[in-house]
Structure 1
Amino acid sequence: MATNQISATLMQADRDAALAAIATLKQKLPFLIDLTMEERKALPKMGDKSRAFVTKALEVATQNPDFLPRSFDLEEMRKDVQLFEAMYPIVVALAQLQELMDDTYTTVGSEAYAAALQVYNYAKASGQGAGLDSVVDELGQRFARKAKKAKPQPSVV
């Protein structure tokens, strides 16, 4: 058997506590929105280089509000910049947690699948006559290939 990287259990109380912590995050961040894929693609993105640009633009606008049209809401821009900056450390921490969750979930799933493959192979090799034939057949359905449908032949008229 391959090296087992993860040997752990998740107690129901800990699982519930983690889910409660996520619910608390959602409650504490009631302004979170859900964009469609199209909406997400259409938005201009602010990365590290853009952060400096936005900060500078806010400073220019704050010091020189006279050249802005009346319809420009400087206070709303200020709030957006402040919220972006306040959310940044949370986003970084959640991205790190998401990566750890994904890696752990993938690894533990891989380990479980590798063990299941070993069980299947041992049952195929040693289970004959031990009353395991139907179970081996059932497990083998995972690898059964579906017959390709024959392409309909064009009818000749």
Structure 2
Amino acid sequence: MTNQKHHFDASPVLVEDVVPALRLSLRVKPAHRATLAQALGLDLPARVGARAVANGTEALCLGPDEWLLTAPEGTDLASPARAVYADAPHSLVDISDREVTLRLSGPAVLDLLAACCPRNVAAMPVGTAARTVFDSATVVLWRDGPADFRMDVWRSFAPHVRSLLAQVRQEIAAGL
């Protein structure tokens, strides 16, 4: 995925919009997880917060029977899932337009996130993700590196979250 710089990027935290991608909500009973995973060619991790990647497609376990799948636009995951539906009943819903993704990176990113997120983000291992809140907005926070995160936020909350990010970035920059 390539990124487009948002209009504010001159502080110890860079905030960028990530180009749109296919985003799917998957629900399947644990007994059928392996069958569906094989059809998709992608591991569906069983541990909440665990991620798996294969051929540009990423799966995040959000619950015992819930995953968030992301892939480049144009990827067809529905056809292989549909082909095994009789053996692995599931719900696969395209939620691509519901959310936007922001990339947050830089030496002060943990301070930025701590200002509005009650979760101990510093304790999140690299390569994991979690559903949490940022101020009053439900988000999915992906930790891609020690100082590199992605934040999925519902499109309707994006202006509020962007405003908070800009405010906190300014406060961090003023304190340095």
TM-score (norm 2): 0.19
* Higher relative contact order structure (alpha carbons within 8 Å, sequence separation ≥ 6): 1
Flag the structure with larger Rg. 1
Q: Which structure features the higher share of strand residues?
A: 2
